[in-house]
Structure 1
Amino acid sequence: MAQDSNLIFSRIDDRLIHGQVMTAWLHAYGNVTHVLIVDDDVSTDPFMVQMFSLLVPPKISIEILSVADALAKFKAGLDKPTMLLVKTPATIARLVEGGVEIDTLNIGGMGKTADRTKFFQNISASSEEREILKKLLQEGMHIEIQIVPAQKCVDVSSLLA
């Protein structure tokens, strides 16, 4: 599968849609009209689906899919300029293994958990997540950390060297 020209921005943020952060990215990518959240758990939780649906601006459509359903959607082709949001590097890896091409990946939020340690400033990652990121880099993906568009971009390859 070649990269879908309608895949405008791909981001890992464990909060998924986060008020001012989402507004800033939608403004930075003014042509985005659709948000695609890919998460197996969220996609089956009616409350979370409704909550996230209320958080996007009125002119932006939103879809919340499992990885399997997202792979089918990518195979069929995205019909609108789309922002892809996932919670973890593992979800990105599953999409890539399924044939989705992502040239550039933005990391915006990966909070500390029991198995995650500090990776960069307030971004944390487990050893498994670091390995996934290394593999994605080796496969040619550009990965950067940038919480909001106004901040300086940090190349993840320099952090994993």
Structure 2
Amino acid sequence: MSTPNILMTRIDNRLVHGQVGVTWTNTLGANLVLVANDAAAADPVQQNLMDMVVAEGVQTRYFTLEKTIDVIRKAADRQKIFIVCKTPQDVLTLVKGGVPINFVNVGNMHFAEGKRQIHKTVSVNDSDTAAFRELERLGITCEVRRVPDESGESIAKLLA
């Protein structure tokens, strides 16, 4: 089994929207957007909405976390994969399942009850913080960067 060509993994609680579907996909040169999310994998309506905002010629897959772990190493070399997850916990699940992720781009994590804001677009609770710390401990760089031309900010520093 070969190592899949994962260009980037992004955390975005909206999953795929215009910025992700076009701007990031084009910048990365991705030809496959893989949404690794249990709820989205079971929701064809949500999938159709996301398909509409993905750049022309880019394929989409909507897999559960488990299926992503099971099939990612079967990816062909020509598949330039952009993984999109909803939470740092989901990314950690993929990593622990053997998905070779070494960098995480953090886009949007909305503010909600019990969360603290650490960046304009990123709010975390204790569980999020623990997941980010574990990812960093595993040698995975996590940085907040909403759009490609913005400079990234380290999650580790923002959490400190």
Q: Same fold (TM over 0.5)?
A: yes
Unaligned stretches of 5+ residues in structure 2:
none
Q: Any conservation in 1 of the 2:110–2:122 contact (CA below 8 Å)?
A: yes
Give the corresponding residue for 1:53. Answer: 51
Counterpart-to-counterpart distance in 1, 2:50 and 2:23: 17
Matched residues, number: 159
- Change over 3 Å in CA distance of 1:43–1:21 after alignment to 2: closer
Give the corresponding residue for 1:148. Answer: 147
Name the Cα RMSD after superposition.
Answer: 1.7
Give the corresponding residue for 2:109. Answer: 110
Counterpart-to-counterpart distance in 2, 1:12 and 1:89: 7
1:64 and 2:79 aligned: no
Counterpart-to-counterpart distance in 1, 2:13 and 2:19: 15
Give the corresponding residue for 1:137. Answer: 136
Give the corresponding residue for 1:74. Answer: 72
Normalising by structure 1, we get a TM-score of: 0.91
Please give the secondary structure, in 1, of the residue aligned with 2:110.
coil
**Greater than 6 Å deviation, 4+ residue runs:** none
The AA in structure 1 aligned to 2:59 is S
Normalising by structure 2, we get a TM-score of: 0.92
Give the corresponding residue for 1:99. Answer: 98
Alignment of 1:30-49 (within 5 A): 30=29, 32-49=30-47
- Change over 3 Å in CA distance of 1:78–1:109 after alignment to 2: farther
Q: Which piece of structure 1 moves more, 6-15 or 117-126?
A: 117-126
